[in-house]
Structure 1
Amino acid sequence: MKTILTTLAALALTTTAAFADPAEGRWRTQPDDNGNTGIITITMCGNMLCGTLTESRRGNGEVFTSENVGRQIVWDMEPRGNGQYRSGQIWSPDRDQTYRASMDLAGNQLTVSGCFLVICRDQVWTRAN
């Protein structure tokens, strides 16, 4: 009986990992208007993706304390398959503005687009270790 329970527990952990979304994980942003970068941790929030700023770095790579660490940056991002995510929102700390957003995943690069009316701004985030 103990062997069966151990096997079932291992299977449950393996199954959970198998269903992880490919965009989940830690992503380093491009520098913002101030030259700072961030680490955004993307996770599943229900059946959508969301992302939280978990680390801030100056242009020289120095980690610094930001009032925005811990704040949700990406939310309501709908996985559409084939590395495409749509219908989300993204907040830009350097501009204190929220935009309609989409993301496209290609390998270890995540192209994040934020749009206001018909004007869009893209950033390429890279997977962080």
Structure 2
Amino acid sequence: NALLLECGHGGLCMECADALWKAGPAQRHCPMCRKIFTGVMKIVSETDTEAKVEMLHYAHATQNPPRSNAVQRFLNRRNRTLLPSTGGGGGDSAPGDVPLQALAAHPITPRVAQQHAQAAVIGQMAQREAA
């Protein structure tokens, strides 16, 4: 039951993640890098071809989210952008699935690819909530 924060750091147990979340927005800082986070994700399954994540906590915005630019910068870092699959590959993919076959074209690790995709999902959710 791997949990991830927006910044990509993980290794938290469910109780610790819940405690961080319940502390309120002013206290929601990653214990590793101290960045403010607005979402907690759980990796629900991982195979050789994809990883599926589930949002456990998400702070929605009532207006355009101020972090959307930060998420976009994260996604565009080093000009390597991986997006969640849209299910066009013939499988049972859903938003949040990471097609790991795309890694062959990008010299990054599966963990970094998952972080990119999870940040994209968070950004998309924030944009939907703001609309």
User: When the two structures are superposed, what TM-score results if normalisation uses the length of structure 1?
Assistant: 0.29
Choose 1 or 2 for highest CA Rg: 1
Structure with more of its chain in strand, by fraction:
1
Greater relative contact order (CA < 8 Å, ≥ 6 in sequence):
2
User: When the two structures are superposed, what TM-score results if normalisation uses the length of structure 2?
Assistant: 0.28
Structure with more of its chain in helix, by fraction:
2
